[in-house]
Each structure stands twice: as C-alpha cells, then as structure tokens.
Amino acid sequence: MSLEKWIDKKDLEKLKALENPKVEKVIEEYLTLCKPVKAVVIDDSLEDIAFVRQLSIDNKEEMELGLEGQTVHFDGYFDQARDKQNTRLLVPTDEKEKYGQHINTIDRDEGLNEVLEIMDGVMEGKTAIIRFFSLGPTNSKFSLCALQITDSAYVAHSEDLLYRQGYEQFKRLEGSEDFFYFIHSAGELTDKYVTKNVDKRRIYIDLQENRVLTVNNQYAGNSLGLKKLALRLAINKAVHEDWLTEHMFISAIWPLDKSRKTYFLGAFPSACGKTSTAMVPGNTIVGDDIAYLRIYDSGEVRAVNIERGIFGIIKDVSPKDDPVIYESLMSPRETIFSNILVSEGRPYWMGMGKQVSIPERGINWTSSKLGEWEAGMCCDDDGNVFKFSHPNARYTIRLEELENVDEALHDPDGVEVSAIIYGGRDSDTSVPVYESFSWKHGVYIGASVESETTAATLGKAGVRKHQPMANLDFIVVPLGEYLDAHLDFGKRIAPEKVPRIFSTNYFLKDKRGNYIDEILDKKIWLLWAEKRVHGECSAIETPIGYIPEFEDIKKLFKDAFDFEYSKERYETEFSIRVQKFLEKIERIETIFRNERDVPKEFFTELENQRKRLLEAREKHGMDVISPFLF
C-alpha cells in the first residue's frame, strides 16, 4: 500500500525530499494501522506551523481567548496528569528482573500486541499530522531528531511552542535511522472534544525501536512524545553512549555586580523549588526542565536545553512571586493555557494574586463532565467542592517570550557547565547549601536525593520519597547502570574542568515547625555557590561536605537584601544533625543494596560519609554539632 492513499502530491514531495526510507516505512506502517482519512506533512515553514494552530481551533481542541495569540485547551476530567500506572517499559520477560522495583514494565510482546490492537483504526475520521522536530539546537552535536505522528492538532501545536522545528534537521541525517519516533492518538472524542476511552489509555516505551506508542489521552505529559517520553528514550541512549540526559534546568547565575555569568544545572523533585531556582531574579534562564550533557574535546562539560519553551504549572504564578512569567501570561502573545477557568475570554487560575477577583462561573476543567462551572459546585471523588482551576493546570509558551531568557538558548555548542545543584524537600536534616568533596561524592549526593510529601497534595505530610537525581520517574535503565554512567562521565572530564556539585534545601524548619528560609533566600545560596566556583570565598569542611562561613553569608544577605543575617540563625541552619544524616544513610543503603550492580564507588562514598559522621559525634560528644565547632 503506498502513501498516496493518505498524502497529497505536494506533501509527498516533502517526504521524498528527506531521502529517508525508515521515515517513510514508519509513516506507512502507522497510517495503515491507525486508518486516518488523510495525513498532512508539516515542514519548518511559518505557513505550515500556522496551519497546525488554526487546525486545533477548527477542531475545537483549543478555543481563542480575548488577548491576541492566546488559546485554551481542556483535557478530559479523567486526563489531568501523567498516568504512571499505564506508562510502561516494553521489555522481554527474561530481562524484567534486572530493571529493579522502580521501573514499571510489561512483557514486550504482550504490551505490543495490546497497544497495537487498541491503535487499530483509532484515527478513523481524523487527519494524521506528521511532524519533524529537533531535540536540542539544530545543526549541533547535541541534536536528536524526532518524528511525531498524531491526530491531535493541540499536541502538534504545543510542540511548535516547546520544540525546535526539525524538518531540515532530518535532511542532515542523510538517510540515517538514528531518530526517535512517537505515535499518538487522542482516540475517540466526546461531544466536548476530549478523550472518551481513558480506560484504554496506554503509554508504552520501546527502547529497542527508540519509539513510544501512546493512545487515548490528551494531557501533554502523556501525549507529547518529545516531553518526558523522549526523556526516557534519551536516558537510555545516553547511558549506552558517552553522555548524560538529565531532568535539570540550566541557568546563568550572575553576581550582584553583573560582572560575569556562570552556568549552573539543577535537579529538583516536584515541589522542591526547581522552577523558582531557575527563575531567581537577577539570573537568566536557558531551560527549566531537561538537559543533555556532553564532554567536549577540550575536556569541559557543555549542556543544552532540548526544548525552546515551557510547559509550566500555572498554580501560584503571581506578579509577586513570578513577575516575569506573569507579565508574559497577561500580554498578547502565543500562549496555550490548559485546565484553567475561562470567563468572558479571560483566563483565571489558582494563586494568581489578590489583585484578581475570580468570577462565579465559566468554562473549566470540569466542563467535560459537568458542563459550565459555578462557584460552590459539588463534588469531586473525595467530596470536595470543585476548584475553579485544576491544581495541575498549565501554560505553554516559548522561552523567547521571557525577559530573562539567556542569549545562549539556541547556541549549537550549548553552555559550559560550572556547577550542578541537587535539591530536595527536607524539614529536619540537611543544611540550606553545601558543596561536595568531589565528583564521586556529588554523584552520591544526587543519588541520595529525598523529597518529603506535603499534606496539601498527598494527604500525609513528612513521608520521605527517594528521588535519585530527581529523575526516578523517568529512569528506564537499572539504577546501577545509571549511577555507573554518571561516575564514568566524571572520570572523562578534564580535572580542572570538573563542575562543582552542591546540595540545597529550602525547607528546613525550626523547633516550632516554621520554615527558616524566606522564598527569595535561595538567591543567597546560589550567590555563595557562584563565588565558590570562582574561588572567591573559603568554606568549612564538615562530615557532609563544605558549608559556608558565617561572615560570607552575612555579607551576601546585607549586599543583596540589606538584611542583617544573625549568628543565631546561621547556627540553626548550618549545624550538622549527625543522627538525622545517619538515619538517611540507612534508608539510602537499604534501597541500593536491593538494586543490582550498583557501583562499588557509590557504597565507598556512603561508608566514608557514615565514618565521618560517627567520628565527628565521638569527637564532639553530641548529635547536633554547631558549624562554629568545625
């Protein structure tokens, strides 16, 4: 069966121009399976990109708002977040054991048979959209090509904001089969234009073929192949080659006098300050979510943002806490809102500030189930009154729309990485900031990241969840292999170019249970880390790593905020809580002893940390040791 059945002559010429037999084979295979009415091939032209956006509006997947360029999309009531249960890795049964407990797997043959049966005829009556994107800047050693076939114009439009067009990049493949591909269908839609058969929602990841098959969903975390689905494929590819794929922001940290900029990467679990750290006032941003890291010939680590946009949680974006993003969302520019409240053509979301009065009625995320929302409407599955905006409501914009975007966003060589931060949510153990002793010690710190749950989201506060490198949900290789790749990466960096590794914790509480840090205090910890990179301040050696000296922190608070930072607060924040750290080591050791092939260097670092803590407790005779005693 030839492609002429679905694709007109003009679009077929676009495909032929790529001179890539595998591209044509994949397209023909899935058009035959999914059975759309027709297919359109989208290249990098502004005309084609505008066509996709208009198609989303015409298909009623998006609705135009009052400000020029703004649209809103609603996912179905039961399609509001990543579906972890039905996101599975396809693996042969005889290999399942090696993937450990954290990876959700299914037998490869069983999973393929299931999802392909669901996808048989799933695009009937629809138009398939064939897209080409570049993960990372185009014409770069970082570039990875991605082919997307979807029947959702909303998905395709979102990808235009989030990723770099890659049709011309596919030509540079010169027929190579080295690309990712993603097949997506929203499935049968209801009269509200949302996915109907969510019980048959499947997101299956096939590492053997570098592909993801995803069906019966619209929420971007499940449907946009290039987002967290491509992250999984890239982690596997990187681990088996010579580079890293990480769930990290990239930001340029500027000193107060703006005399230089230093690029930092940062990995933080959800609700631990990742976006707010990437967007600290006075710094510039390259990316907020995913980074590729490579070692260049001169021995330094360089990184790129694989994206060009932000798919961000909109809850609590306000003029006070996120002035740059808020201003962008309140201005006429191409923006896609999702699962917020719309009334008289205006968007409303939770936490947008006291200056906004929320309307009593409108269209929102419940509309696919209940019709138009009204204040006081009851009730969700837990008996709660429906919120006017979903807590996971989102915005999608291009990074270029932000005032604080860094000039290196599209640099094909990326940026030189001078430091990496690992952050977690920890109320009673770790200090606000400390530096590792070495790359290997830093890998141990990253692998030991924990995050406490909050009552607001999960109903039970204080439960510690292990989140190695803030990447657990997306790691598709055994943890031992993943750590070994990090350790090996560090060995290949030129000794004078090895990035410094820091740990941060913004959530330490005092004896009364109150947070000690203010929201913007994270700027001080970044400024101190930046000075350490440039050798401009000393530090105190402790069992956990290097911590700041009091006078350095005091001066930074005074210069940045005109705030008098006290010795009493410093001692509270930077005391080493020996017993708490020993308890954490026990938790981490238990987890990794149950994983296969964990590198010996990891356990060496763990034992060294335990030994240092025990020696400090014996020397000082106390479980909480003041920083002034080191």
Cα–Cα distance for residue pair 472/94, rounded to 1 Å: 23
Cα–Cα distance for residue pair 173/493, rounded to 1 Å: 28
- Lookup: tokens for 131: 């897209």
145: cis peptide before it, omega within 30°?
A: no
Cα–Cα distance for residue pair 123/462, rounded to 1 Å: 45
- 125 exposure class (CB count in 10 Å sphere: 0-12, 13-18, 19+): exposed
The type of residue at 115 is V
Q: Among this protein's residues, is 272 annotated catalytic?
A: yes
DSSP character string of 163-186? SEE-HHHHHHTTT----EEEEEE-
What backbone phi and psi angles, to 5 degrees, belong to 396? -130, 120
- 259 exposure class (CB count in 10 Å sphere: 0-12, 13-18, 19+): exposed
Q: Round to the nearest angstrom and report the end-to-end CA distance of the chain.
A: 75
Classified as helix, coil or strand, 619 is helix
Cα–Cα distance for residue pair 472/592, rounded to 1 Å: 13
Cα–Cα distance for residue pair 278/291, rounded to 1 Å: 13
Q: Residues near 357 by Cβ (< 8 Å), separated by ≥ 6? A: none
- Lookup: tokens for 185: 């269908």
Provide long-range contacts, Cβ within 8 A and 24+ apart, for 360-363: 362/388, 363/74
Contact 345, 337 (CB under 8 A): no
- Lookup: tokens for 581: 């750290």
CB atoms within 10 A of CB 463: 12
* 268: nearest Cα among 526, 524, 610: 526
Residues 13, 19, 20, CA angle at the centre, nearest 5°?
115
What backbone phi and psi angles, to 5 degrees, belong to 142? -85, -20
CB atoms within 10 A of CB 458: 10
Classified as helix, coil or strand, 8 is coil
CB atoms within 10 A of CB 577: 19
Classified as helix, coil or strand, 78 is coil
* 177: nearest Cα among 29, 23, 51, 312: 23
* Set 272, 378, 379, 537: catalytic member: 272
What backbone phi and psi angles, to 5 degrees, belong to 625? -110, 125
- 87 exposure class (CB count in 10 Å sphere: 0-12, 13-18, 19+): buried
Cα–Cα distance for residue pair 449/428, rounded to 1 Å: 14
Catalytic residues: 272
